[in-house]
Structure 1
Amino acid sequence: MDWLTHPVVLLAVGGGAGANARFYLGRWVAEWQLRHGGVSFPWGTCVINVTGSALLGFLAAACLGSADPGRRAWYLLLGTGFCGGFTTFSTFSVEALDLIREERIGAAVVYVLGSVLAGLGAAALAMRAGR
């Protein structure tokens, strides 16, 4: 096995790239929010998790049904690695609890239901596209 295609390397490179993408996209969304009225809603995490769900859905459909080792390597790099580093259930959970703590129950419900339903919808549509 070539060291470049070793699972540990694929996961580390993909995960590092995903975490960086999450950081910079989240920062960009937060800055955009400040420039446009300072909306106090966790849009960054929502955008990140929904786009990550779509990417993972596409990759699962395109790669996991194949016996081709190359597709498996791409899934490790981009699916498990990048999407694992990019998406964030823990931040989603803390942000939902912050909304509840701030007594913004309606916003918390919209955030939780909207994120979950949009993520499922994005993954389903992307899985269709990946077949």
Structure 2
Amino acid sequence: MFQKNIDFLVHLGMAALGGAVGATARYALGLIPVKTVFPWVTFFINLTGALLIGFVTGIIMGRKAINPNLVIFVKIGVCGGFTTFSTFSLEVLNLLEEDHLFTGILYAVASICTCLLGVWVGRRLAGYCM
């Protein structure tokens, strides 16, 4: 029981540390001045986050002895702090690769549509509070 509590705390710490690294990297990249309408920096962040989480999961799939703290640090922490789009992309790909075509497409479309709606509703609610 004691060891499980220690492992849990270490895992939380690794997620937090990785999240700090990812969030700091995202912030730093966001400071790059880009003078176009297309959000290139966010696009780059989402793409590199997806590449990183794909690379990490590919390594994990090829090896059995990977330190779980390192996996939590990179997948949940760094990628999660950098972009949650990477996790979303991995989950959709996993569903598609596991022959859950309908569920994968439904999840992708529903996530994008409901999140856009959520941002719109949130903005409207904020307007009522001002």
- TM class by smaller structure: 0.5 to 0.7
**What is the identity, as a one-letter code, of the residue corresponding to 1:83?**
C
Q: Is the 8 A contact 2:60 2:66 kept in 1?
A: no
- Structure 1 stretches of at least 4 aligned residues deviating more than 4 Å after TM superposition: none
TM-score, length-normalised on structure 2? 0.55
Q: Residues 8-53 of structure 1: CA distance to partner in whole angstroms, max 9, x if unpaired?
A: 110000011100100111211xx1x2xxxx2122111100000000
Q: Does 1:27 align with 2:31?
A: yes
Q: Does 1:47 align with 2:40?
A: no
TM-score, length-normalised on structure 1? 0.55
Q: Residues 75-119 of structure 1: CA distance to partner in whole angstroms, max 9, x if unpaired?
A: 110111100000144xx966xx89xxxxxxxxxxxxxxxxxxxxx
Q: What is the alpha-carbon distance in structure 2 between the residues aligned to residue 25 and residue 11 of structure 1?
A: 21
Residues 16/80 of structure 1: CA separation in 2 closer, same or farther (3 Å cut): same
RMSD after superposition = 2.7
**What is the identity, as a one-letter code, of the residue corresponding to 1:46?**
F
Q: What is the alpha-carbon distance in structure 2 between the residues aligned to residue 78 and residue 13 of structure 1?
A: 10
Matches within 5 A, 1:107-122: none
Q: Does 1:15 align with 2:19?
A: yes
Kindly state the Cα deviation for residue 69 of structure 1 after the two structures are TM-superposed. Answer: 4.7
Q: Is the 8 A contact 1:45 1:88 kept in 2?
A: no
Q: Does 1:57 align with 2:54?
A: yes
Q: Which residue in 1 is equivalent to 2:107?
A: none
Q: What is the alpha-carbon distance in structure 2 between the residues aligned to residue 6 and residue 75 of structure 1?
A: 12
Structure showing greater Rg: 2
Greater RCO, 1 or 2 (C-alpha within 8 Å, sep 6+):
1
Q: Residues 53-76 of structure 1: CA distance to partner in whole angstroms, max 9, x if unpaired?
A: 000000001125543252x22111
Runs of 5+ unmatched residues, structure 2: 86-111, 121-130
Q: Percent identity?
A: 34
